[in-house]
Amino acid sequence: MRTVAVIARKGGSGKSTVAVHMALAAFLRGRRVWVADTDAQRSASQVLKGRKSPGPHLAETAGPKLFALQISCQRAGAELMIIDTPAVVEEEISHAIVAADLCLMVIRPTFLDLIAAIQTAEIVRRLRKPALAVLNQAPSPRAGVEAPAVKRAKEALGLMRIQVVPTILRARTSYQSAFETGRSVEEADPSIEAGREVAELWTFLDRFIFGRTAVAAPGACAAPNDRTSA
């Protein structure tokens, strides 16, 4: 079983939105998925409880209980656990990072999000965990040209030596409207841009989680390609 911690130190980054969409993307492609909701706001839980069709298993839990939950899920045949973490409780975030095979940092292309990302990257680096960053709620390109804020965010993350996922999630109301019925944007309308973004992001992440491509901790050199499926 693989475990992904979805983390962001800045509130409103869309962390839960990304966590739930990745869990649903994996589930829709046949993966046996558990969502561990450690955020006191229980945003992920509220979405998944609103589903009218089968979906990922859900556990409302806390950071210190993650290890026991991992063992239980593994025994139940889970392939993937996605942890939705709180935004500001460092101890809870640290528990999730320790439990994770991959940390997915959710970052908006804003100054304050990037400042918070420095703190997050330091925790991940200290715990020696692989990490990727996904830009979320980004403005759409105009005439094929990225907004200056997106360019600056990519440059800043590059200076932090954090690998950025190629797929950028744009600021779209469809992400939230799909949640009103407990669905992902892929389920609501796979032909729209948001559905394609989610599909591309999951395809990329799936290679790292279940494939053989290694991801280095922020600031570290990439390790040899030695990741294998559990």
- The single-letter DSSP state of residue 224 is P
- Measured from the Cβ of residue 60, the count of other Cβ atoms closer than 10 Å reads 14
Q: What is the pLDDT of residue 216?
A: 53
Q: Which pair of structure tokens corresponds to residue 39?
A: 């955020």
Q: Would you state the pLDDT for residue 228? A: 32
Looking at every residue in the chain, the average pLDDT score rounds to: 90
Domains and CATH numbers, the chain: 2-208 (3.40.50.300)
State if pTM tops 0.85. yes
In the predicted structure, residue 222 carries a pLDDT above the cut 50: no
Q: Distance between CA 106 and CA 104 in Å, rounded?
A: 6
